[in-house]
Every structure is written in C-alpha cells, then in structure tokens.
C-alpha cells in the first residue's frame, strides 16, 4: 500500500477515525494500531507478517533476557545473540543471492566448474529498516538507555507502526517507547503540522520526484550512451533532486501521519544540499540512518578514540557498510566507499589545516563542490550497474550531442528542488502556523484542495518510493 | 554511547521546528472533538473535486455484488460532479499542467 494512493487514504481515514475514537482507551487503541499496522504490511505480502511477528518476539525475549541476566557477561551474550539473529535474517533475505553469485564468479575465475545453486529470495519490504530498529532496541536495553519492556503490545506497536514500517525514519525505542507509556497527544498543533507535512510530502513525491523520474532520470540512466553530456548532467542533477524529494517526501508523510495519530518522530532530512562539507551532509541527509550508523557502528568499533588512522579506517568501514545496507550490489559498495573515503580525506585535511570552516573552500564554493561530490555518488547509486555508472561519467564529457530532454518542466523541477534547500529551514512551520490559526473545518478544506491539486497535476498511477527497494 | 535518551522524546516537536516560530508556545490543549471537522471537511472536498479518482478506485475492486453497486455509484458520482462543475475544474487543471509538460 503506497502513501500517495486512494487505497492508503481510505485505510488511513479509517485508522484515524477509530484511533481518535479510542483516545481514552489506550490499550485498545494500541491494539488497534498494531493490528492496522499488520494489515498495512500484509497488504504487500501477508506471509511476511510472520517474519515481522517473529522478529518482534525475538527482540522481546532478548530484552527480557538482558534484563534478567545477573552478570555483565550474560547481558553481553544475550545482546549479541539478539543482534546476530537479526543480522542472520537480514543477511539471508538481502544478501544471500549476492554472496552466492559473487562466490560462483570467484570459483569460475579459479577454474572450478561446479557452482553453488542460487535460488531467488523475495526481499521483504522494509526489512532493512525494521532490522536496524530491532538492533537499536536490543543495544539500548543492553547499554541501559531504556529498560526492557514487559509489554509485548508496546514492543509490537513500536516494531510495526505503519507510518515508518517500510521506509523509515528509523525510529529508536528510546524515542518512541516513552510515548507509548502515556496518553497520546493529539492537539491542534499535531493536526495542523501533520497535515502540512503530508501535503508537502505528496507534492514532493507526486509532482517533483515522479515527473523527474519519468521525463528525465529513467531515460538517461536506462541508456546513457544515447544522450549527450548536457542531458546526462541534467539527468544526474535530476536524480539528486528526485531522490531527495522522493525519500524526504516519504519521511514527511510518515512523520505527518504519525503526528495525526498523536506520536512524534524525529526529523529525517534538513536541507542536505546546502551542506558545506561531507560530514555536514551526513548530519542533514537520512539523519535517522546516519545517526544509527554513528551510534551503533562507528562508535562501538572505536570511532575517533583510537588515533587518526583508526578514525579514517572506521569512517570508511562505516560508510562501506552503510552502502551495503542499501543493497547487495557493487555499485552500493562503491557509493559507500566514495563517501567513506571522502569523509576520511575531509577529516584528514581539516586536521592538517587546523581550520574550523569547511576544507572545501569558502562557503558558497564549498556548497557547490560538496553537492557535485554527492552527485558523483548518486551516479553509482542510481545506475543499473557499475559499468553503466562509468558510461554515465564518461558521457558527461561528451558535449557533441545536442540536448533532447531539457524541457521547461524538468528544468523548473530541478530548480525548485534545489531552491527549496535555500529557503528558511522552518518554511514548513511558517506554512503550518497559518494553518494552525484557521478554524478546524477551514483547515480541512485547505488541505483537501491542496491534495486535490496535487492529484490533478500528478501522473496517473503511483510510482513506488525509491527506498522501498531497500 | 551517544543516544537520544528518553528525556529527549519530550522535545520531538521542537526538533521539527525552530523555537521562535514554535506554535506550541502558548498553545492550549484542544478537545479532539473540535478537530473532527478538519477530517470531515477535507474528505468532502476530495470527494467533490476528485470524483475521477474515486471512480477509478472502485473500478479496480474485485468483482462482487457490493463492488458492482459501488462501481455504479462511483460512475454516477463522477457524472454528477462533471455536470456540477468540480469535475470539469479538476480536468482543466490536469490538462493545463500536461500542456505545460508537453512543451
């Protein structure tokens, strides 16, 4: 069930009506929201609801095991067992085919004829997100950030809560579980901010991301050899805007939908293309993943505590694994490696020059350079495969073919997608502040008009969100 | 380990906005029943303007006597909205945008 569809709208209106009606009966409300979340997930493939349930049962048991353990060693054993179980499940569904295919290639190159049989494994949607969420729960309990929950219902709702279930933000137990312990807040603020975020997200996804994908990006990346340098450059810029508008739209709609149900999620994007350094980019892009990688991977493997060389190695490892998290393909490894090495070099340069500003130069220049470095990474991220990414990069320098794809709409959407990074960072809040002062009915009418306008301008049919594949 | 501790969850809304424009400042709790009109009005506006979407959606329902009734109702509703005007306004907006796209 995709967010910008009538299916979801009807589902959400029913959920909202029942959840609001049950606001004084908290246990029933949580039970209903959990059931609705399983229906939402089962809409895609009901068989994987058992995977979600099994995953939840596992972390519930591990949480209690950590809580009951008497020695530090036993706690550690319980925590690592939980983490290992989740990683094995994720590894099987996500990386089995990749590793077997890579191993077969290695065997062939070594002259061995026999191959390990490969069978197709269906990737459960959202598995990367709910696995990381589960690991954060286990490690937060282990590190005594939160106590292990005794309420299976609370944990089941935390794991399955439908706004964030399939594509994040990766909401941490320490952020979400305390909200389940009290009566949910649904105030006028929640309604006006939630509606604003949903409408803004629908606009970014249905108009900006979808048209850029169909009219420009898909064409360029499908057959890069057919187009000249200018079209390829527009395609790369277009993808930078598309992936931002697509993914941040999902996050906005998720945050907005949760807010209408009385729960708050942390911000997941903060105008990433205005970053003047790579480290700043990662503080603004997919914040819930980058902070997860920092707290549960980079810091535990040593962070910057073991000297400069280990810091650079740790940064590279973290980003490499971050790349691999996105998918089992060498192009994602390359994307992660580019960012990892980029962050390490940036840190090395800033240490050597002992400067407080960006190592990329004066701020406006730094923003342009960092944006183009990020675009280079996006080429590997979007291309069909590694070889195709290299074709795009080579083609960027061939300006003999006249442009075919530079339509006014594509150019306007790229410009809009970039300009929105340089508007006041609280623009959505300013719009929301207008909403908030309206009578409730007027708020609903304005929201209805805005959604209808997005629907009128949007493409027929709903394109899936890019991050659904991860 | 750096983490967002439980205390931080109290400030989630402020993490979405800047303090100077935070509308929670001075905001009063409002009974939920006063917010129902927002959901009802939004749904009505969508029904009026997007009869076409509704017609398409019911058209995709699996065949059954109930679905057939809904399909007939959806077609009737779209026809009514076209005759009254909102449906035509929706189509005109769509056409204008597609014309711009085709340039």
- d(Cα A267, Cα A249) in Å, to the nearest integer? 12
* A356-371 residues labelled b (16+ CB within 10 A) or e (exposed): eebbbeeeeebbebbb
- The pLDDT tens digits of the residues spanning B23-80 come to 444 455 566 677 788 888 988 998 888 888 888 888 888 888 888 888 888 888 888 9
HSE, side-chain direction, 13 A CA sphere, residue B79: 6
> Residue A327 has what DSSP assignment?
-
Please answer yes or no on whether A407 and B32 come within 8 Å at the CB atom: no
Among chain A residues, CA nearest to B90: A456
- In chain A, which residues have their Cβ closer than 8 Å to the Cβ of B70? none
A334 to chain B nearest CA, in Å?
28
CB contact under 8 A, A447 and B42: yes
CA–CA separation, A192 and A431 (whole Å): 9
CB atoms within 10 A of CB A277: 22
**What confidence tier does B17 reach under pLDDT thresholds 50, 70, 90?**
very low
Q: Which structure tokens are listed for A352?
A: 């050597």
Hey, are the CB atoms on A16 and B39 less than 8 Å from each other? Answer: yes
What is the chain B residue with the closest CA to A214?
B101
Give the residue on B whose Cα is nearest the Cα of A180. Answer: B9
**Per-window interface: A 432-461 vs B, CB < 8 A:** 432-433, 436, 439-445, 447-449, 451-453, 455-457
CB contacts, 8 Å: A215 with chain B = 101
Nearest residue in chain A measured CA to CA from B5? A174
Q: Which residues of A are catalytic?
A: 326
Give the tokens for residue A248.
């941040």
Q: Determine contact, residues A173/A136, Cβ cutoff 8 Å.
A: yes
What interface predicted TM-score (ipTM) does this complex get? 0.73
Task: Write out residues 6-25 of A within 8 Å (CB-CB) of B.
Answer: 6-7, 9-10, 13, 16-17, 20, 23
The CB density around residue B88, as the number of other CB atoms within 10 Å, is 12
Tell whether B29 lies on the interface with A, counting CB pairs under 8 A: yes
Q: Which two tokens stand for residue A235?
A: 């395609």
B12, B23, B50 ranked by CB distance to A455: nearest: B50
Q: What DSSP state is assigned to residue A183?
A: P
List the 139-168 stretch of A: residues with Cβ below 8 A of B. Answer: 139-140, 143, 145-146
Looking at residue A181, the DSSP 8-state letter turns out to be T
- Nearest residue to A9 (alpha-carbon basis) of B102, B50, B11, B32: B50
Residues from chain A that touch B53, judged by Cβ atoms under 8 A, are: 6, 455
Residue-level pLDDT at B51:
83
pLDDT > 60? residue B4: no
Give me A368's structure tokens: 């342009």
Distance CA A196, CA A191 (A): 9
| CB–CB contact B12 A175 (8 Å) | yes
**In tens digits, what is the pLDDT along chain A, a chain of 470 residues?**
777 788 888 899 899 889 888 888 889 999 999 999 999 999 888 888 999 999 999 999 999 999 998 899 999 999 999 999 999 998 888 888 777 877 888 888 887 777 777 777 777 888 888 899 999 999 999 999 899 999 999 999 999 999 988 777 888 888 888 888 888 777 777 788 888 899 999 999 999 999 999 999 999 999 988 898 999 999 999 999 999 999 999 999 999 999 888 888 888 898 999 999 999 999 999 998 888 888 888 888 888 888 888 888 888 888 888 888 887 788 888 999 999 999 888 888 887 666 666 788 888 899 999 999 999 999 999 998 888 999 999 999 988 888 888 889 999 999 999 999 898 877 877 777 777 778 888 888 998 999 989 988 888 776 677 776 66
A110 touches chain B (CB under 8 A): no
- Interchain CB contact of A174 with B (< 8 Å): yes
Whether the predicted pLDDT of B5 surpasses 60 = no
A186, A188, A416, best to mutate vs chain B, most B CBs in 10 Å: A188
Is the CB of B6 less than 8 angstroms away from the CB of A195? Answer: no
**pLDDT score recorded for residue A352:** 63
Alpha helices in A420-468 (DSSP H): 427-437, 440-457
């Amino acid at each position: 069930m995709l967010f910008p569809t009538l299916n979801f709208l009807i589902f959400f209106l029913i959920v909202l009506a029942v959840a609001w009606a049950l606001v004084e009966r908290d246990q029933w409300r949580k039970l209903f929201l959990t059931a609705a979340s399983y229906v939402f997930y089962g809409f895609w493939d009901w068989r994987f609801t058992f995977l979600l349930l099994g995953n939840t049962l596992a972390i519930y048991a591990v949480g209690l095991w950590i809580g009951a353990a008497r020695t530090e060693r036993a706690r550690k054993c319980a925590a690592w067992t939980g983490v290992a179980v989740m990683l094995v499940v994720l590894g099987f569904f996500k990386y089995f085919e990749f590793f077997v295919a890579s191993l077969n290639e290695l065997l062939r190159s070594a002259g061995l004829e026999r191959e390990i049989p490969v069978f197709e494994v269906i990737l459960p949607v959202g598995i990367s997100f709910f696995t990381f969420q589960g690991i954060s729960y286990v490690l937060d309990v282990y590190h005594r950030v939160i106590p292990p929950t005794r309420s299976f219902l609370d944990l089941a709702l935390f794991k399955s809560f439908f706004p964030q279930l399939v594509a994040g933000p990766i909401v941490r137990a320490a952020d979400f579980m305390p909200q389940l312990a009290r009566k949910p807040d649904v105030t006028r603020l929640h309604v006006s901010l939630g509606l604003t975020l949903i409408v803004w997200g629908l606009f970014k996804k249905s108009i900006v991301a979808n048209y850029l994908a169909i009219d420009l990006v898909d064409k360029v990346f499908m057959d890069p050899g057919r187009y000249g340098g200018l079209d390829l450059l527009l395609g790369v810029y277009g993808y930078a805007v598309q992936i931002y508008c697509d993914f941040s739209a999902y996050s906005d709609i998720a945050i907005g939908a949760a807010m209408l149900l009385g729960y708050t999620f942390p911000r997941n994007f903060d105008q990433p293309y205005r970053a003047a350094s790579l480290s700043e980019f990662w503080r603004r892009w997919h914040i819930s993943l980058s902070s997860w990688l920092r707290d549960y991977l980079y810091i535990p493997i040593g962070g910057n505590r073991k000297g400069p060389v280990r810091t650079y190695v740790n940064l590279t490892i973290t980003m490499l694994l971050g790349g691999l998290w996105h998918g089992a393909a060498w192009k994602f490894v390359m994307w992660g490696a580019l960012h990892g090495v980029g962050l390490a070099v940036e840190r090395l340069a800033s240490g050597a020059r002992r400067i407080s500003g960006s190592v990329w130069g004066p701020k406006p220049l730094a923003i342009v350079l960092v944006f183009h470095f990020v675009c280079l990474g996006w080429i590997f991220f979007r291309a069909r495969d590694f070889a195709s990414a290299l074709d795009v990069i080579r083609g960027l320098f061939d300006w003999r073919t006249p442009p075919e794809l530079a339509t006014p709409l594509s150019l306007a959407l790229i410009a809009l997608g970039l300009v929105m990074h340089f508007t006041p960072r609280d623009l959505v809040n300013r719009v929301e502040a207008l909403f908030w002062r309206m009578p409730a009915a007027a708020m609903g009418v304005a929201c209805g008009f805005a959604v209808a306008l997005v629907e009128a301008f949007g493409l027929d049919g709903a394109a899936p969100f890019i991050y659904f594949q991860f | 380990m750096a983490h967002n501790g439980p205390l931080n969850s109290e400030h989630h809304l402020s993490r979405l906005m800047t303090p100077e424009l935070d509308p929670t400042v001075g905001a009063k709790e409002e009974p939920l029943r006063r917010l129902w009109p927002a959901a009802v009005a939004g749904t009505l506006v969508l029904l009026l303007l997007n009869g076409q979407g509704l017609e398409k959606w019911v058209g995709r329902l699996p065949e059954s006597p109930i679905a057939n009734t809904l399909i007939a109702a959806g077609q009737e509703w779209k026809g009514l909205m076209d005759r009254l005007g909102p449906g035509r306004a929706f189509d005109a907006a769509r056409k204008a945008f597609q014309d711009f796209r085709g340039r």
